[in-house]
Amino acid sequence: MAAPFTKTCVQTSDNRSLCVEPAQPSRRHDKVTTLAPVPFPSWCAGSNGGAVSTSRTAACRITGLLLTTTQTVNGTVRITGELNADVYDYTYGSVDLPNWIHQIGVSPWSGWGDAVRSTVTGTLAVSGDCTVNGASSFPVQALSPVNNTSRVGEAGARTTATALGAIGYCTTTWNLTFAAPNYPTARASSAMDEISCDNATGANFTRPARVGCVVPWYPAQVTYSSGSYPSLASHVQRAQNSGLPGASILDPLYRNTDQATIDLNRSRACGDAPSIAGRSCDEYPLASTYQGLAFGGTRRTFSSCNINAPTGVTGSTGVSACMITASENNAQGGIMAAFYYDNRVLGGDPYWVEASS
């Protein structure tokens, strides 16, 4: 992930300097007010310098910033002002669009002296498989009063990874300029690389291939309804309860698109499954994950599953196999295909499975 601020200082001939450096955020995020075009989300409060998300289409990060003014007289450096601020980086896009927004907010929450009389402005730059989409909008804004209100900039980026099968990565960087009367300007940059775009999910029946942008590290959720698929949901629930991964965003599965290891996963889990009318062998974690038996572990099962394997086994490694209703097992393929398409889940991306009513 892209790094937050680095310290910068600028000194002039009259011995005045303006410094910007990283600092701890205030942790007052539940009280922040904002004039942002899109309000910074409440879940952003979970950030403490690292990016957080609650979906595949948005990410947020809060860092701290300290602005210091100094003056040197007869060789003695005197601090003439300080200003503490929280910096909100918020990126959001769409699974069906080739562009996204990077919004930034500077929220001063304490300060004194000459630093409080500072202003901030900024422009967006990009690097990687992308271009700036339109002009940056971050007019010069005063950092006084110190009232925890965001001074906001907004700009967009557009992916250049539009060819069929393409996957692109981009870093968007807000370059901020701080100025105080009778002091030089100082600059700082805040970058986010939480969004990737692709045209690699392909078509899904009548739904065409299309370009879109997501937060690739956030695990999307697929649901197996016990009302619609009781046999499938029951097996998944039992497998997860025995310790196998994929039951939450904190312990996700990872999609595997390599057909050779998918086939090996399936063969090692279900290759010797019995022939029972109306039933077929289901494996969990799914064969199309990196948690299948091709990557280690042993097979296990449950009583009444009609699989020749140990029962009562617990732990996070291995695969559970069970004979379930064939129609439900067949439907699982369609569920997963639609899920991968809707959430742009590519090879190596995380996701989790909820088996519920």
Q: What is the DSSP letter of 55?
A: S
Whole-angstrom distance, CA of residue 8 vs CA of residue 19: 6
pTM over 0.85: yes
Q: Which amino acid is at 16?
A: R
Whole-angstrom distance, CA of residue 352 vs CA of residue 219: 6
Q: What is the pLDDT along the chain (357 residues), one digit of tens a residue?
A: 565 656 666 655 568 888 888 888 886 655 555 566 788 999 999 898 899 999 999 999 999 999 999 998 888 889 999 999 999 999 999 999 999 999 999 999 999 999 999 999 999 999 999 999 988 899 999 999 999 899 999 999 999 999 999 999 999 999 999 999 999 899 999 999 999 999 999 998 889 999 999 999 999 999 999 999 999 999 999 999 999 999 999 999 999 999 999 999 999 999 999 999 999 999 999 999 999 999 999 999 999 999 999 999 999 999 999 999 999 999 999 999 999 999 999 999 999 999 986
Q: What is the DSSP letter of 75?
A: T
Whole-angstrom distance, CA of residue 202 vs CA of residue 105: 36
Q: Which amino acid is at 113?
A: G
What phi-psi label fits residue 231: left (phi over 0), alpha (psi between -120 and 50 degrees) or beta? alpha
Which residue reads 């595949």 in tokens? Answer: 56
Question: CB neighbours (10 Å) of residue 130?
Answer: 25
What phi-psi label fits residue 247: left (phi over 0), alpha (psi between -120 and 50 degrees) or beta? alpha
Residue 254 sits at φ, ψ, to 5 deg, of: -125, 125
Q: Give the H or E element holding residue 134.
A: strand 130-137
